């Protein structure tokens, strides 16, 4: 059933009061194909709305992906091949996997949003990315309603990036994703962030995937604002990757600059650090602002418009560029 002039406030974690000209929720591929046959254009696929900045009402048809299902499709040696519906809440999938004893996604605990949106920006946290456990996905082409399979190479995953942010942007609805998870002898990633320290303070010496998931949840809950309390989309900007020469130039004026080496000889500089140096951390502008505990996160204190948040984002981008010569890129999808 297609609704009209639907408020999107309950459907985006920034808590922005945009409206959809037309809106429907689909629970299986057939419902999706039938919604597409309505011919209403343009079509916007919505998951959990946790990576979207809505700066205006959305014309055309918003389709909320609510396609469910989680199943073990094949087991081969130590690998469990698991197929998950695109509308499943990502963290519900992580909890299910941890409970079943399937490893590989425990570091991605508590990331908001849906499984279908996860490949779009190759979600990542604490040293693990979706691409590390991805096998293939099924998607429906919006223009034709035809189903297609994309394998790992087809998706062209990069840092918070995939083909679905470039030439396939807005062209497909991802209806399911298949993952390869470990059944035993899990490869734990403990060196990133405070995971090891948190495990120690929990008294854990031989961590299981459940221990790692719990530690990640503890760390994330202490650092990131809960969208149910303060509207936000997590990290608003990507961490810039730049030439070493740029880093060395910054080091002359800021000897304490933080950086991480990349395999190609370039370096990654935390965007949060750059923003903090420019004095934005904790700064409030009208109803929006830069979160006090993490400068990478922009927040809606209540009643902010998408345009207010966007203006703040671009003021930050300009200020970082003026100070450091690095132009930050938004990670969030701006509509
Ligand atoms: C508090 C908080 C913390 C976060 N932490 C992280 C983190 O640690 N790491 C990280 O990577 N991200 C993080 N995010 C960002 C966000 O959770 C992810 O980008 C997530 O994958 C978005 O999922 P969604 O279902 O909410 O997508 P939406 O916001 O609904 O959509 C995002 C984009 O994907 C498209 N899309 C959605 N579903 C589909 C589909 N089925 N098929 C095709 N296109 C689709 C949309 O059209 C849109 O362009 C965080 C967000 C918040 C609010």
Topology of the domain comprising 70-223: 3.30.465
pLDDT at residue 95 above 90? yes
Sheet hosting strand 19-26, strand order edge to edge? 3-7, 19-26, 58-65, 43-46
Backbone φ and ψ of 315, nearest 5°: -65, -40
pTM score = 0.96
Report how far ligand 1's centroid is from the alpha carbon of 316 (Å): 22
**Going by C-beta distance under 8 Å and a sequence separation of 6 or more, which residues neighbour residue 86?**
47, 65, 67, 114, 115, 116, 117, 173, 174, 175, 176, 177
Q: Give the helix/strand (H/E) hosting 267.
A: strand 267-268
Q: Quick one: tokens of 34?
A: 């039938």
Alpha carbon distances (Å) from 175 to 144, 160, 326: 15, 20, 37
Looking at domain 3-65, does it have CATH number 3.30.43.10?
A: yes
Q: Residues 26, 32: contact at Cβ < 8 Å? A: yes
pLDDT at residue 61 above 90? yes
> Look-up: residue for tokens 């995939």?
162
pLDDT at residue 47 above 90? yes
Report how far ligand 1's centroid is from the alpha carbon of 248 (Å): 34
- pLDDT value at position 283? 98
Q: What average pLDDT score do residues 180-193 get?
A: 95
> Look-up: residue for tokens 């591929």?
29
Q: What average pLDDT score do residues 240-262 get?
A: 95
- pLDDT value at position 302? 95
Cα–Cα–Cα angle for 162, 27, 68, rounded to 5 degrees: 65
**Going by C-beta distance under 8 Å and a sequence separation of 6 or more, which residues neighbour residue 153?**
none
**With bands split at pLDDT 50, 70 and 90, how would you rate the model's confidence at 192?**
confident
For the chain, percent of residues with pLDDT exceeding 90: 99
**With bands split at pLDDT 50, 70 and 90, how would you rate the model's confidence at 38?**
very high
**Going by C-beta distance under 8 Å and a sequence separation of 6 or more, which residues neighbour residue 98?**
106, 109, 209, 210, 213
Q: Tell me the H-state helices in the chain.
A: 29-36, 90-100, 152-155, 195-201, 209-223, 244-253, 271-277, 306-324
The domain spans of the chain are: 3-65, 70-223, 231-334
Note if 276 is an active site residue: no
- pLDDT value at position 219? 96
Q: Which CATH class is domain 231-334?
A: alpha beta
CA 111 – CA 92 distance, rounded (Å): 10
Active site residue: 160, 162, 176, 308, which one? 160
Q: Which tens digit of pLDDT belongs to each residue from 156-173? A: 999 999 999 999 999 999
pLDDT at residue 278 above 90? yes
Report how far ligand 1's centroid is from the alpha carbon of 172 (Å): 15
Identify which of 60, 86, 117, 169 to mutate to test ligand 1's pocket (most ligand atoms within 8 A of the CB).
Answer: 117
Q: Give the helix/strand (H/E) hosting 317.
A: helix 306-324
Alpha carbon distances (Å) from 66 to 26, 45, 91, 258: 5, 11, 15, 41
Residues present in the chain in total: 335
Q: What average pLDDT score do residues 174-199 get?
A: 96
CA 285 – CA 287 distance, rounded (Å): 6
Q: What average pLDDT score do residues 97-123 get?
A: 98
Distance of alpha carbon 59 from the chain centroid? 24
| Residues having CB within 6 Å of any atom of ligand 1 | 13, 44-52, 65, 86, 111-114, 116-118, 120-121, 123-125, 164, 172-174, 224, 227, 232-234, 333
Q: Which tens digit of pLDDT belongs to each residue from 206-250? A: 999 999 999 999 999 999 999 999 999 999 999 999 999 999 999
> Look-up: residue for tokens 């130039």?
249
Q: Quick one: tokens of 305?
A: 């418009």
Least Cα distance to 83 among 188, 161, 168, 174 occurs for 174
Mean pLDDT for all residues in the chain: 97
Write the DSSP symbol of residue 239: P
For the chain, percent of residues with pLDDT exceeding 70: 100
- pLDDT value at position 193? 81
């Amino acid at each position: 059933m297609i609704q009209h002039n639907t408020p999107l406030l309950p459907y985006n974690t920034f808590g922005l009061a945009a409206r959809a000209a037309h809106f429907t929720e689909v629970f299986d591929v057939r419902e999706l194909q039938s919604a597409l046959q309505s011919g209403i254009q343009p079509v916007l696929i919505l998951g959990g709305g946790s990576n979207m900045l809505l700066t205006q009402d959305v014309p055309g048809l918003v389709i909320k992906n609510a396609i469910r299902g989680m199943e073990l499709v094949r087991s081969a040696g130590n690998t469990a091949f698991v197929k998950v519906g695109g509308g499943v809440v990502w963290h519900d999938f992580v909890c299910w996997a941890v409970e079943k004893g399937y490893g590989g996604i425990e570091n991605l605990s508590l990331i908001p949003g849906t499984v279908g949106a996860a490949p779009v920006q190759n979600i990542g946290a604490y040293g693990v990315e979706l691409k590390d456990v991805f096998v293939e996905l099924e998607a429906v082409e919006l223009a034709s309603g035809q189903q297609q399979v994309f394998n790992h190479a087809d998706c062209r995953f990069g840092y918070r990036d995939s083909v679905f942010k470039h030439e396939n942007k807005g062209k497909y609805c991802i209806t399911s994703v298949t993952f390869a998870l470990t059944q035993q002898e899990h490869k734990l990633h403990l060196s990133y962030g405070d995971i090891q320290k948190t495990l120690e303070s929990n008294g854990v010496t031989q961590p299981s995937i459940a221990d790692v998931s719990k530690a990640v949840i503890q760390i994330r809950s202490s650092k990131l604002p809960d969208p149910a309390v303060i509207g936000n989309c997590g990290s608003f900007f990507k961490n810039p990757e730049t030439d070493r020469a740029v880093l060395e130039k910054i080091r002359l004026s800021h000897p304490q600059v933080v950086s991480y080496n990349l395999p190609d000889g370039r370096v990654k500089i935390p965007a949060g650090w750059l923003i903090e140096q420019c004095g934005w951390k904790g700064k409030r502008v009208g109803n929006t602002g830069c979160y006090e505990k993490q400068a990478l996160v922009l927040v809606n204190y209540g009643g902010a418009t998408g345009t207010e948040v966007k203006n703040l984002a671009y003021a930050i981008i300009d200020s970082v560029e003026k100070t450091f010569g690095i132009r930050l890129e938004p990670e969030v999808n701006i509509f």
